[in-house]
Structure 1
Amino acid sequence: MKQDSTRNAAYTVDCEDYVHVIKFNPFDSGDACSLIAYGGNNYVVVGTCRFQEEDAEVEGMQYKTLRTFHHGIRVDAIAWSPETRLDALPPQIRVWDLEGNEKAHFVLRSPGMSVCWHPDEAFKLMVAEKNGTIRFYDLITQQAILSLECEQTPLMSADWCLKNTLKIGAVAGNDWLIWDITCSSYPQDKRPVHVDRARLFRWSRVNENLFATTGYPGKTTTQLLVHHLGHPQVNFEFNYIQKPSQNI
């Protein structure tokens, strides 16, 4: 930013012209609290600004421009929305061929958390959204053909059973949930599984009654549980010990 060099600024940012207004994001919204915006005669720049006092890995201060908006008029005021976030997933699912050409994209109503192809029908796709909805798409018509509902959030992971394609499994909140898509759009079975919230769901590739779930990583361990639909109790439990990171 243009400033008097006699003030011995600790950090400077090159700008296109004069800066008339500058505004840090005042809301505590994850990584978005590091956002900064400044405006000049015909543009607004949005960037991130991190300080050593907040992040020990930063030496002094670190700035990165994220985007510049040109609109042809002087900027005299900037206000941040309290819903501003940097960690939100884009609300779309895109499909490419092996040459990298985009073949289809679908607009979602919340962040997409899992994507699965039908194991037998190459043009059917399942997408699980964080708001608790699982939708199935036909890539030929590019339309949704079926949806399932969790009735709880956040849905973090879902999987399509290879041994029985009528079964869908997922984890949402602290629970695992199982659907039979021929019976209802709501789960036929669900049970609490991880006290610290569930993170991942995966079916066995050889047995339609076996599946595994993981919890969120704790400070020292991560829990992995193996379940059998015919037994109410957990079949196996593994607790992975995480080694503390070391600075090299």
Structure 2
Amino acid sequence: MKQDSVRSASYTVDCADYIHVVEFNPFESGEEGSLIAFGGNNYVSIASCRFQEDDASVSGIEFKTLKTFNQGIRADAIAWSPDTNYDSLTPLLRFCTAASDKNLRIFTSDLQDKNEFKVFDGHTSYINDVVFCSHDGNTFASVSDDHTCRMWNIGKGQTAMFMLRSPGMSVAWHPEESSKLMVAEKTGTIRFYDLLTHQAILSLESVQVPLMSADWCLKNPFRVGAVAGNDWIIWEMPRSSYPQNNKPVHADRARLFRWSRCSENLFATTGYPGKKNTQLLIHHLKHPQPILIGSVPVGSGLSWHRSLPLCVVGGNHKLYFWFTEM
């Protein structure tokens, strides 16, 4: 099933600005379509979207911007709270942004009169990733170039800090492993922390560096993936701390890795922006070659739909969506 030619995006949506980050809501949030957050130079917008692959009444894509929050600074990472509930009676939007001023912001909105945010400071360098606990809408974690992973509570502020040996690049919670936190470091080590004892209980090692992005597979909690150097890398826990599978895929270094949320074998990677374009590759572990190749003008951000084999990448004044068969 080799895919040699670059495939155009299945759908595109125009935006008012260059998109630095984009994130589908991974949680069930009501019946009004999937929620998506995307950040430009000064703002974060929330939209609902439906696709014909999921709803026969839709032709192509139905996209509706619900709310735009002007935070006055670039957002570099976005995490959705599991408390988000988008229905007609009691709408609640809650998400966290990591911004270029080294601060985290929790935004809360009822899509009407209540629109507020709270700032969390403490990191002393660039924040690379943020994630909410899937069982607790008050608890979130972040990793930074300041060699720390920090735990936060919306009401209490910072509650814990893990010292890292290099910049923290990715952080992840798994709904089946809520007492553990995955933290990936740039020098190629991925550690799992027990949140009761605050001790590292397992580590994985990459042969390639620098490790730029890692993700914990939703459909298989024993599977972890990452990109480092030019390669994608897969670990199967607890077989070994070293990878079971890796392959060079991006000539100009790999940038992001994301598992599909509906298959344990499907994942996407992006390369660094070249002179004009960023390469998107969609891979399936049972196929030797990428099953889809896409290209985005200076793209950034990567996220998978909650229930469809569909991913999105941000770009210059556009969102690009690719649908692939599993």
TM-score after normalising by structure 2: 0.47
**Percentage of pairs with the same residue:** 63
Q: Which runs of 5+ in 1 are unaligned?
A: 1-85
Query: Partners of 1:106 and 1:183 in 2: how far apart?
Result: 26
Q: Which residue of 1 aligns with 2:178?
A: 122
Q: 2:145 matched to 1:93?
A: no
CA deviations on 1:110-141 (whole Å, 9 max, x unpaired) are: 00000001222222100000000000001110
Alpha-carbon distance between aligned partners in 2 of 1:169 and 1:123, rounded to the nearest angstrom: 20
**Residue 187 in 1 paired to residue 243 in 2?**
yes
Q: By how many angstroms is 1:217 displaced?
A: 1.0
CA displacement 1:44-67 (0-9 Å, x = unmatched) = xxxxxxxxxxxxxxxxxxxxxxxx
1:173-199 alpha-carbon deviations (Å, 9 max, x no partner): 000000001210000000001000000
Write out per-residue CA displacement over residues 67-118 of structure 1, whole angstroms, 9 at most, x where no aligned residue. Answer: xxxxxxxxxxxxxxxxxxx878100100011214222110000000000012
Please list every run of 5 or more consecutive structure 2 residues that lacks an aligned counterpart in the other structure: 1-124, 127-143, 299-314, 318-326
- Give the greater-gyration-radius structure (CA): 1
Residue 208 of structure 2 is matched in structure 1 by 152
Report whether the alignment pairs 1:202 with 2:258. Answer: yes
Q: Which residue of 2 aligns with 1:164?
A: 220
TM-score scaled by length of structure 1 = 0.62
Is it true that 1:133 corresponds to 2:213 in the alignment?
A: no
In 2, Cα distance between equivalents of 1:119 and 1:216? 30
The match for 2:7 is none
Change (3 A) 1:100 1:214: farther
Q: Alignment partner for residue 292 of structure 2, among 229, 232, 236?
A: 236
CA distance in 2, matches of 1:244, 1:149: 35
How far 1:241 moved relative to its partner? 2.1
Structure that is richer in strand per residue: 2
Query: Is the CA contact (8 Å cut-off) linking 1:125 and 1:138 kept in structure 2?
Result: yes
Q: Number of matched residues?
A: 160
Distance change (3 Å), C-alpha of 1:244 and 1:97: closer
Q: Give the Å deviation of 1:244.
A: 7.8
Q: Which amino acid aligns with 1:148?
A: L
Structure 2: how far apart are the matches of 1:209 and 1:158?
15
103, 113, 136: which one pairs with 2:169? 113
2:271 alignment counterpart: 215
Q: Which amino acid aligns with 1:149?
A: E
Counterpart code for 1:223: Q
Q: Quick one: distance in 2 between partners of 1:191 and 1:232?
A: 10
